[in-house]
Amino acid sequence: MATAYIPESDELWKECAEWLTRWEMIRPDHEAHWSESTIADFADILRDGVLLCKLLNKIDPGCIDLKDVSLKPTMTQVFCLRNINLFLKTCQSSFGMFDLFKGAMLLDPSNIHEVLCTLSKLSRTEKALKTGIPGFSIPKVKIREEAYIFQSLTEIIGSQPPSYRDSGQSIISIDSAVTNEEIYQDLILVRCAIEQTQPQERRDFVIRELLDTEKNYVDLLNKLKMYFMVPLQNQMRPEDHATVFHKIKELYEIHSAFLVELTKIRTNKNIMFVLGRLSQIFQKFKERFLIYGSYCANLTRATNLLQDLCNQDYGFNETVIKHEKEVNNRRFKLRDVLFVPMQRILKYHLLLDNLTTDEHNEEYVEMDRAHEAMKDVASYIDEVVKHSNVINYLQDHIVDWKHEPEMNISSYGKLIKDAELKMKAHDDQKTRNRYMFIFDKAILICKAQNNQFAFRDILNIMEYHVEEIHNAAVLNNQGDSNYKFRLVKNGKQITIWAHTLELKEQIVWAINEAHDNIRPKSLAHTDHILELTTFANPIQCMYCCKYLKGLIFQGYLCQICNCAVHKECIQISGGCGVSPLRLQASIPNGTSDRDPLRNQLWYVGEIDRSTASEKLIRRENGTFLIRRNRDSTHSHTISLKWSGRVKHMRIKLKIDGDIRKYYLSEFKFFSSIEEMILRYENYSLEENFDSMADDVKLLYPFHQLRAVALRNYDAIDRSQLSFKEKEIIIVIGKDGYKEGWWKGQTEDDQIGYFRVSFIKLEGEVQFD
């Protein structure tokens, strides 16, 4: 009689892990080799199918085109299944293998032993063994023992914290496919080595790499345009041409202008100025770089169409090959080169990270601002691609739309979770296998049919609630373990079974998350009237100034004041009509909504000298404002209350071509007004004015925000602010420390930095 399966004593999966290590698919120090690792940990690394597809390609190079693999599929089970099915299909077609595991077994996993058996067969195929890498054998176990194996694995997985969301990794990660990185290295980086002079400092090298690689990238875009886009126009239908070369012309124009800006700083020897100017350039182009969202979202469609055209039209294929030879001696195909722009846009924040200096250096804030801006751009692009891939895939693979043939998947919102389940409606005598897609606004129920999903029903998610059934797993004769719950609407119910406790918890969580997306609990902390909204154009959150991400239902729009926020920013978004970052309400006098200073607490827009004096004279010493002078859009003045009087200091501007230098005296120049203000919040203005005392600083911005602490916090260094829950904090700055930290003052006049998430804003402080 078979004994119960005990993970700690099992060696079968460990043999498979050793085999994968011999093939260099997992590292020798991978967690699968740790002494405390379990079969559940091992199943996790196989579950999305990516490693399996890469394994086949390593054993038999070219048997799978990695561009057909969803390399970051954790966002949806559909893409995991697609990878697994591609693996199984290739095992049959290229390796002559049959009697393989079923795709769902790996996902649940309902029988990891069958997966191990398939991998054992693969390890002993002729193609695998001819490399000299030995395979491994796994004895077939009986059905009853398989049931114990499954039961034990379910317990292991069920005992671990469920991972409801994706891993957080980028779907368009630059290291997702070795071939793409090799192409980028060859076409963009390799020529950097021809520079004769060697930089002495790490930052000099990074700046040089940025400039040289940008030049190479612009050259590549120009070749794409001149050698492919233009000459192939007459051989392609207009719609096909527009798809394959989507946004190439625009990318060339943007990066040509970007390169011109970068080239201007190349010869400047002042590293402080160079870093400040670099920050300005990246922030200037940040919004234009969002075009990559559209480019990357279209990339799969473009490369697949190009491959189809080459396969169908011999003459067209020969023309493409001819131009590939002219450009790079056909080292890389046009299809491969189209991936380089995606690689490039994701390099910028990595390069800037190498330039972000010690946080105590003066240039830190400017470089950190540029670094965060490009991280935000990369995150925006990632979400656009993710949503586009899901929408396009489901739109193409869901069939039999009987009731709503014109329905667009995107109208249901973002896909939160999908899974194969068993369902039984209250008026149906039969339990049915169904595939469930949980979106923000609806639950789509389908029947899986090969690689398609036949529409069966759609539920308005807000009309249903989850009713838990607290039952233990029941092991039946087939070794299936079922965990169930109910969806209830007005007394009617649908009973749903999941194969594992983990899957049940994920489905219940997803439904509750959808409810919270439509009516967030955090609305109780604000009087904004917020609704989940799809924004047609890129828009920034009024609270954190980061982009709302994705293509659909990116965030929330207030129906009263039209402010836009992320879901996680609702709780700390302040009151309706009072914008904590001064993006919508209380816009300074004469200030355009594109004025780069409009969000600053110290900025008041266009007012005259006497008005500034009148506003400041009743405020405490150290209070200051920045005002725009009426004689010029680019002329500004600092007005500061000190020693009972108001002093006005004109900010001078020196323009050298396209380079701007701001200064109070020629003692020190700054690349932006923000950089200047940050300096004199921490250092005395005495360095510019001999008549000033050595303790004169810009201490308190004219506009200040009132906040309430949401929790206790004990500072861990001298720069931070300690406070108690419900204590009043006055916000007096938003820069100068770390991303996500603001500067505040408590009622006992303690000043320091704190995490923004630790407070709730109540509005702007009103001064008499």
Distance CA 244, CA 303 (A): 7
Average pLDDT, the chain: 82
Asked whether the predicted pLDDT for residue 133 surpasses 70, the reply is: yes
Domain match, 723 and 632 both: no
In a domain, 587, yes or no: no
CATH of the domain at 468: 2.30.29.30
Query: What is the pLDDT confidence band of residue 275, given thresholds at 50, 70 and 90?
Result: confident
Domain match, 460 and 371 both: no
The region of weakest confidence among 60-69, 165-174, 753-762 is 165-174
| 767 neighbors 579 (Cβ within 8 angstroms) | no
Q: Tokens 């005495």: give the residue.
A: 686
In a domain, 594, yes or no: no
Segment 216-239 mean pLDDT: 94
The region of weakest confidence among 129-133, 279-283, 763-767 is 763-767
Residue, of 451 and 615, whose pLDDT is higher? 615
pLDDT at 31: 81
Helix, strand, coil % in the chain, rounded to nearest 5: 45, 20, 40
Domain match, 135 and 97 both: yes
Percent share of the chain, pLDDT over 70: 82
pLDDT at 8: 38
CATH of the domain at 656: 3.30.505.10
Structure tokens at 627: 């005002």
Asked whether the predicted pLDDT for residue 664 surpasses 70, the reply is: yes
The region of weakest confidence among 64-68, 508-512, 566-570, 651-655 is 64-68
Q: Which of 367, 342, 351, 245 has its CA nearest to residue 678?
A: 367
Strands 398-399 and 452-460 turn out to be parallel
Distance CA 150, CA 140 (A): 15
Q: Show the CA angle centred on residue 180, arms to residues 179 and 182, nearest 5°.
A: 65
Q: What's the pLDDT tens digit per position in 693-749?
A: 778 999 999 999 999 998 899 988 888 999 999 999 999 998 777 777 899 999 999
Q: Show the CA angle centred on residue 602, arms to residues 599 and 608, nearest 5°.
A: 110
Residue ending a domain, choose from 326, 355, 388: 388
How far, in Å, are 104, 212, 262, 372, 758 from residue 257 at the CA level? Answer: 50, 15, 9, 22, 41
pLDDT at 724: 93
In a domain, 585, yes or no: no
Q: What's the pLDDT tens digit per position in 529-573?
A: 999 999 988 998 887 888 999 889 999 999 988 889 999 888 877
In a domain, 380, yes or no: yes
In a domain, 170, yes or no: no
Strands 623-628 and 700-701 turn out to be parallel
Three-state DSSP at 109 gives coil
Domain match, 72 and 210 both: no
Domain match, 498 and 551 both: no
Residue ending a domain, choose from 682, 700, 718: 700
Q: What does the chain come to in residues? A: 768
Distance CA 443, CA 28 (A): 43
Domain count, the chain: 6
Judge residue 107's burial from the number of C-beta atoms within 10 Å of its C-beta, 0-12 exposed, 13-18 middle, 19 or more buried.
buried
Domain range for 709? 703-764
Domain match, 353 and 427 both: no
pLDDT at 267: 77
* Bond before 109 cis per omega within 30 degrees: yes
pLDDT at 579: 45
Domain match, 254 and 376 both: yes
Q: What's the pLDDT tens digit per position in 408-441?
A: 888 899 999 999 999 998 888 899 999 999 999 9
User: Residue 443's beta-bridge partner residues?
Assistant: 438, 459
Residue, of 139 and 596, whose pLDDT is higher? 596
In a domain, 127, yes or no: yes
Buried b (16+ CB within 10 A) or exposed e, 150-163: bbbbbebbbeeeee
Domain match, 22 and 139 both: yes
Q: 584's torsion region: left (phi>0), alpha (psi -120 to 50) or beta?
A: alpha
pLDDT at 592: 52
Q: How far apart are the first and last CA of the chain?
A: 87
In a domain, 164, yes or no: no
Q: Show the CA angle centred on residue 6, arms to residues 2 and 11, nearest 5°.
A: 95
Q: What's the pLDDT tens digit per position in 22-49?
A: 998 988 888 888 877 888 778 888 888 8
In a domain, 598, yes or no: no
Query: What is the pLDDT confidence band of residue 146, given thresholds at 50, 70 and 90?
Result: very low
Segment 753-765 mean pLDDT: 84
CATH of the domain at 151: 1.10.418.10
Query: What is the pLDDT confidence band of residue 165, given thresholds at 50, 70 and 90?
Result: very low
Three-state DSSP at 53 gives helix
Domain match, 476 and 535 both: no
pLDDT at 478: 41
| 706 neighbors 765 (Cβ within 8 angstroms) | yes
Residue, of 175 and 576, whose pLDDT is higher? 576
Asked whether the predicted pLDDT for residue 251 surpasses 80, the reply is: yes
Domain match, 505 and 643 both: no
Domain match, 674 and 753 both: no
Residue ending a domain, choose from 678, 700, 722: 700
Percent share of the chain, pLDDT over 90: 40
